[in-house]
């Protein structure tokens, strides 16, 4: 039996029951990575020691209780993995190994997951494209197109079936953008739910999972959040307390043995007020007509599922766009300036793109135009007023199809900034206010690339997002890229 392409839930259940060893599962996935990644470029490092770590998981006394027992996962290369260098897509970073795991990685490992590799990202995670000094991440649907960014390799690895779950982070859309570009699921949690990246972009950035299935997404989020009530929240759009509670070592619950849940049943009906905004962007920013149609299609699917659905006709306030761009550029300057001066010197310096974005950010900070006032306004009351009385909002994730994969890092500001803004202007507002948002693959564009929609909820709305994503998944099952179905 082949385990590559199977869900994380299926793999973990089989490993817990002794039907397959964690080492065998990992070996099979490493073989698949060796065959597929040369065409995709998702991984900077493939960890051969993962097999040894899988054997150690197989010997754990609590194996039968681990929710992610033996599940291969990929980790974005801007999060610490013990024993591996964290390069963040840059030659200007240190190549010394990290002494310990980031807390999010540690939680995945505690749950039995095996880190099979570190995934590529654009330098310092600054842009929505996937090229860096370590290579170019290509879209598994069309290798001439970008996989999106900045969690580029994580999304591509899941889309190509090389792992069932990956870990990334999102400071202006960096989970949702590549998820939509590659046709997988990803959730940016609300502020404070999951341990944040070491550089959290002044609270803009959150760690979160990507997956090929909504139940796997919910399971991974529950582990990352140390909240077992999220694991089954996709079933009914609300937190569900497992009985008995999970192990303290995994979810910080009571120290009781966990019984695996029964096989997935149909999603339970629940009723939310859902607004849909096919064109939420301010005047002057166009939206692909097929992306607009996908939002309407998702809204109709949820109306048929029993929800109250209304159209949200107002566009995002014009002032929010410049504030979001200024915040992005200011964070680019901050990230570049945080690097050791020696790392930026000579041949080990930053890419031309990063230098240009950082220069623009420094200038804006000098002029006190760093976006802080607009962010505070949106966070305090603007987002809530614009969102209205809906429980969840549906928008497009992207505004155009993914552009060419390579060549961006050696281009300057005039090419990169407008291209990023045109490509993905609909995600940043929800980082600006810290609200949760989830990307759902919903259709296929006439270009042959996937189309994703974005579900957004006020703080605490992750269960509703997962429940709606499960209903959309049931009506529009995920499709793998050509040649990558197993």
* Cα gap 184→164, rounded to integer Å: 10
* Cα gap 134→417, rounded to integer Å: 22
Burial 21-47 (b: 16+ CB within 10 A, else e): bbbbbbbbbbebbeebbeebbbbbbbb
Taking Cα atoms as reference points, which of 196, 173, 7 lies closest to residue 104?
196
- Helix H or strand E segment including 308: strand 308-311
* Cα gap 288→423, rounded to integer Å: 10
Half-sphere exposure of 75 (CA within 13 A, CB side): 32
Query: What secondary structure does DSSP assign to 43-95, as a single string?
Result: EEEE-TTHHHHHHHHHT-TTGGG-TTTT-EEEEETTS--BTSB--TT-TTS--
Residue 135 gets the label, from left (phi > 0), alpha (psi -120 to 50) or beta, of left
Taking Cα atoms as reference points, which of 58, 48, 107 lies closest to residue 83?
48
151 is catalytic: no
Return the bridge partners of 75, or none: 118, 167
Q: Report DSSP state, residue 220.
A: H
Taking Cα atoms as reference points, which of 54, 57, 22, 118 lies closest to residue 249?
57
Sign (positive/negative) of CA torsion 14, 15, 19, 25? positive
Q: Report DSSP state, residue 378.
A: I
Average confidence (pLDDT) per 10 residues, the chain, 486 residues: 93 97 98 98 98 98 95 98 98 97 98 98 98 98 98 98 98 98 98 96 98 98 96 95 57 48 59 98 96 98 98 97 98 94 63 98 97 98 98 98 97 98 98 98 98 98 98 96 84
Could you tell me the two tokens for 228? 């077992």
Could you tell me the two tokens for 337? 């300036």
The answer to whether 237 touches 270, Cβ cutoff 8 Å, is yes
Q: What are phi and psi of 166, to 5 degrees?
A: -135, 160
* Cα gap 412→351, rounded to integer Å: 9
The answer to whether 119 touches 165, Cβ cutoff 8 Å, is no
Question: Of residues 7, 150, 152, 222, which has the active-site annotation?
Answer: 150
Residue 59, Cβ density class (10 Å: 0-12 exposed, 13-18 middle, ≥19 buried):
exposed
Question: Of residues 174, 205, 233, 330, which has the active-site annotation?
Answer: 174
pTM: 0.95
pLDDT at position 264 is 47
CA distances from 238 to 107, 207, 232, 242, 470 (A): 23, 21, 8, 12, 12
* Cα gap 45→17, rounded to integer Å: 31
The answer to whether 328 touches 354, Cβ cutoff 8 Å, is no
Could you tell me the two tokens for 161? 């079936």
446 is catalytic: no
Question: Of residues 7, 13, 76, 233, which has the active-site annotation?
Answer: 76
150 is catalytic: yes
pLDDT at position 269 is 74
Return the bridge partners of 135, or none: 132
């Amino acid at each position: 039996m082949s385990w590559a392409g199977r869900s994380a839930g299926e793999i973990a259940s089989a490993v817990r029951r002794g039907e397959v060893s964690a080492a065998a599962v990992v070996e099979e996935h490493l073989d698949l990575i060796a065959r597929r990644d040369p065409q995709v470029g998702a991984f900077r490092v493939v960890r051969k020691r993962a097999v040894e770590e899988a054997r150690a998981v197989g010997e754990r006394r609590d194996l039968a209780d681990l929710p992610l027992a033996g599940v291969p996962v990929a980790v974005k290369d801007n999060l610490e993995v013990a024993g591996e260098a964290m390069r963040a897509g840059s030659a200007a970073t240190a190549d010394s190994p990290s002494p310990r795991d980031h807390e999010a990685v540690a939680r995945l490992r505690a749950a039995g997951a095996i880190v099979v590799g570190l995934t590529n990202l654009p330098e310092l995670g600054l842009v929505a494209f996937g090229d860096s000094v370590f290579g170019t991440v290509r879209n598994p649907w069309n290798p001439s197109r970008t996989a999106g960014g900045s969690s580029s390799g994580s999304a591509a690895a899941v889309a190509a079936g090389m792992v069932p779950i990956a870990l990334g982070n999102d400071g202006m859309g960096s989970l949702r953008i590549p998820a939509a570009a590659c046709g997988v699921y990803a959730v940016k949690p609300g502020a404070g739910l999951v341990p944040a990246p070491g550089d959290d972009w002044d609270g803009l950035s959150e760690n979160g999972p990507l997956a090929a299935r909504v139940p796997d997404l919910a399971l991974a989020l529950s582990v990352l959040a140390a909240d077992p009530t999220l694991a089954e929240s996709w079933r009914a759009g609300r937190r569900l307390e497992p009985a008995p509670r999970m192990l303290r070592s995994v979810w910080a619950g009571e120290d009781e043995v966990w019984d695996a849940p029964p096989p997935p049943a149909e999603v339970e009906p629940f009723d939310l007020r859902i607004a849909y905004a096919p064109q939420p962007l301010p005047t002057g920013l166009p939206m692909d007509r097929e992306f607009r149609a996908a939002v309407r299609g998702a809204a109709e699917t949820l109306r048929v599922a029993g929800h109250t659905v209304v159209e949200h006709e107002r566009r995002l306030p014009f002032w929010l766009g410049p504030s979001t761009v200024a915040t992005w550029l200011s964070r680019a300057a901050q990230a570049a300036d945080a690097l050791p001066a020696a790392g930026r010197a000579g041949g080990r310096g930053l890419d031309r793109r990063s230098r240009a974005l950082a220069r623009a950010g420094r200038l804006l900070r000098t002029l006190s135009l760093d976006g802080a006032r607009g962010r505070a306004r949106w966070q305090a009351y603007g987002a809530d007023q614009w969102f209205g009385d809906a429980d969840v909002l549906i928008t497009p994730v992207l505004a155009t199809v993914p552009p060419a994969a390579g060549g961006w890092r050696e281009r300057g500001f005039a090419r990169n900034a407008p291209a990023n803004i045109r490509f993905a202007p609909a995600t940043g507002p929800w980082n600006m206010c810290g609200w949760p948002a989830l990307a759902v693959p919903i259709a296929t564009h006439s270009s042959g690339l996937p189309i994703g929609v974005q579900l957004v909820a006020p703080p605490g709305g992750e269960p509703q997002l997962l429940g709606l994503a499960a209903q959309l998944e049931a009506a529009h099952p995920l499709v793998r890229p050509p040649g990558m179905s197993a």
